[in-house]
Amino acid sequence: MTSELELSLSAYEAACLRRALEESAGNVQEAAAKLRLSKSTMYRLISKHGIGTVRMSRAQRMRQQMMRKIALIERDLLDRLD
């Protein structure tokens, strides 16, 4: 019988995988590095949780990276104003 704690840990693990994949624009190797996992472990966990990976186009990845940089700059500027 699966305990409530096991279900919660599994949901948290899946959420971490999804977020890392989103932040890395679907690049499994980059997402694995963010989570300090090997690429093979990352693929195993993706399969375990039934997470689909969608590769973004180069333009989409560049836009996402640019948006991240803008957010970092905004955060830095706000910190300097405080």
Q: Looking at residue 32, which CATH number applies to its domain?
A: 1.10.10
Greater model confidence, 7 or 54:
7
Q: How far apart are CA 67 and CA 14, in angstroms?
A: 24
Tally the domains of the chain: 1
Span of 10-14, 15-19, 61-65 with lowest mean pLDDT: 61-65
Decide if 35 contacts 20 (C-beta within 8 A).
yes
Decide if 21 contacts 30 (C-beta within 8 A).
no
Residue-number span of the structural domain to which 32 is assigned: 4-81
Q: pLDDT tier at 53 (50, 70, 90 boundaries)?
A: low
Joined together, the tokens standing for residue 58 give 């180069």
User: What pLDDT sits at residue 18?
Assistant: 93
